Amino acid sequence: MQQSKQSLARFYNALRFLDVADRAERTVYEKKFREAMDDDFNTPVALSVLFDLAHEIQRCRNADIEYAAKLGALLRELGGVLGILQSDPESFFQSGQRVSVAEIELLIAARQKARSEKNWEEADRIRKELTALSIEIEDSVNGTTWKSVK
């Protein structure tokens, strides 16, 4: 079960922060995926194609975010054939926590306030509190995001 969640996390991490887009057309990934499915429903090969596609999304994310979004749409569609990757990435990463989303958001807001006031000790204390709750936070230019890490 833990291995499955880690595998899904790799896929959802590739989909994270991508805009909604039309899917990429006529890619080698789609061709290989369809061939695997036509080969007696060869899911191990189909999954390996999805992992390759997720890797490609991560690789081209900085160079061409629009193409990465198109590949993300393809990953979602192909994953849907197997009944996976139909949730929002943030919902996936935030599932399973022991405290409510509202409580986590309040702690993150308090940490942001402490950081803006340059109260680094308080900001670090709140980060440690979130870590103890199995919540990992990621700061970026777009703000702070979080995920449950069990």
Say what the pLDDT of residue 4 is: 60
Same domain (yes/no): 81, 108: no
91 in any annotated domain = no
Same domain (yes/no): 67, 100: no
Mean pLDDT of the 71-86 span: 93
Same domain (yes/no): 11, 74: yes
Q: What is the pTM of this model?
A: 0.69
Per DSSP, the residues of the chain read -HHHHHHHHHHHHHHTTPPP-PPP-S-HHHHHHHHHHHTT--HHHHHHHHHHHHHHHHHHTTT-HHHHHHHHHHHHHHHHHTT-S-S-HHHHHHTT-SS-HHHHHHHHHHHHHHHHTT-HHHHHHHHHHHHHTTEEEEEETTEEEEEE--
pLDDT tens-digit map of 89-142: 888 887 766 677 777 888 888 898 888 899 899 899 889 988 888 889 998 888
Question: Among 86, 120, 136, which residue terminates a domain?
Answer: 86
CATH for 22 = 1.20.120.640
pLDDT tens-digit map of 19-69: 999 999 999 999 999 999 999 888 889 999 999 999 999 999 999 999 999
125 in any annotated domain = yes
